[in-house]
Amino acid sequence: MDDNRLIALKAALENDPEDSFSRYALGLEYYSASMIEESRTAFEELITRDPNYLAAYYQLGKVYESAGEIDLARRIYEKGIYVAASQNEMHTKTELEEALDGLL
């Protein structure tokens, strides 16, 4: 994990708590450092604040999978599929469907 990047992302969120991209990047940074709970919190908060941020559904599903929470992963992938379809984002929808199929 790059501490400077982590500090910069946290500062960006302090300046603008609604900055979805910085929150997403923070979740990725935590995940890459195997800080699963912190990653989970970042992605869950992102989806709460910005439910249309599609990439967060895939990443949060992966966080749940890594924590062995398969039912939660299934639910978040399904929700992401619905959101992607409602936005006519077929590529993202397909990625989420593939992630969901990988659980079965």
Domain 3-103, CATH number (from 2.60.40.420, 1.10.3720.10, 3.20.20.140, 1.25.40.10): 1.25.40.10
Mean pLDDT of 94-101: 97
What is the C-alpha to C-alpha distance for residues 97 and 87, in angstroms, rounded to an integer? 15
What residue spans define the domains of the chain?
Answer: 3-103
Which residue is listed with tokens 């949060």? 60
Token pair listed for 90:
């077929």
Q: Band of the pLDDT at 3, cuts 50, 70, 90?
A: confident
- Inter-residue contact 54 to 89 (CB < 8 Å): yes
For residue range 20-75, what is the model confidence (pLDDT) as tens digits?
999 999 999 999 999 999 999 999 999 999 999 999 999 999 999 999 999 999 99
What is the C-alpha to C-alpha distance for residues 8 and 103, in angstroms, rounded to an integer? 35
pLDDT of 1 strictly over 80: no
CA atoms within 13 A on the CB side of 8: 8
- Helices of type H across 16-89: 20-32, 36-49, 55-66, 70-86
